[in-house]
Amino acid sequence: MPRSNAGKWVARAAATGGGRTYRGNAPVNWYAALVLIVILGIFSVVFSNAEYRHSATSSTTQTPPTTKTTWYVGLAFDVCGTQAPSLPANTSSSSTQAFFTTGNGVVTVAPKSSSETGTNAVFGKFVSAYRGLHVTATELKFPPGSGLATYKSGERCKSGTPDAGKAADVVATYWPSAFTSKEKPIVVHGDPSTIRFSANQLITIGFVPPGTKLPKPNGTVVTALLQASQGAASSPTATTAPTTATTAPTTATTAPTTATT
């Protein structure tokens, strides 16, 4: 190739950025990586924003019962076929306790902190707060002064009880709401402490022979539960029992007036 023609070819190649060969070897992978980085960056920003909004919403929404909720639960104990007397009141520190009873068979559920709300509001929290009471999957121990003793699964019911002589186990049954007729009982064969509280719930803890169907707490407990529920302030997370008002007839008696002239 003549020297003059070679110089002209080099000049043309420089003017076109390297000619066809250079354009064919352009850094396509580099541009693709750059586009991918931009896409991933946009996706990360959108995802982070969505997560932030979700966490902000979750932090303001609590599973009931919350620290602003007050529920009432009917509680009874059945020992060898006989419903035991209601536990005495343990309200001496009710201002700080989340789970307590006033001695009428009704447990007040009023969480004070997040560790007692939602799925943490369980029967076991009440048991641990009640001095002398011990309830597990195999043992039922009553506090001193209750007139009852300690009962362990496999032991036999004592004489003088409806189930005298029969081996018995610790078992629990609960009804989600006392005021819903279609509620089916839920039998708990494991640890009763895991039972989650619900508004107007009924719970019976029993030491009875295997296969025994525990009854609901008696009418006295249910009546006390109804009265407590009616007197509670209504809230969005509380379930309020139907209110029935009974008004006594009023009789006015006017004494006769005697005028003396």
pLDDT tens readout for residues 96-116: 789 999 999 999 999 999 999
Per-residue pLDDT band for 43 (boundaries 50, 70, 90) equals low
Residue 242 confidence (pLDDT) above 80: no
Strand-strand pairing, 71-79 and 201-208: parallel
Euclidean distance between CA atoms 178 and 72, whole angstroms: 10
Q: What pLDDT, in 10s, does the model give residues 114-171? A: 999 999 999 999 999 999 999 999 999 999 887 889 999 999 999 999 999 999 999 9
Euclidean distance between CA atoms 124 and 131, whole angstroms: 12
CB < 8 Å & 24+ apart, contacts of 119-124:
119/63, 119/196, 121/65, 121/196, 121/197, 122/193, 122/194, 122/195, 122/196, 122/197, 123/192, 123/193, 123/194, 123/195, 123/196, 123/197, 123/203, 124/191, 124/192, 124/193, 124/194, 124/195
What's phi and psi for 141, nearest 5 deg? -120, 125
Euclidean distance between CA atoms 61 and 137, whole angstroms: 33
Per-residue pLDDT band for 213 (boundaries 50, 70, 90) equals very high
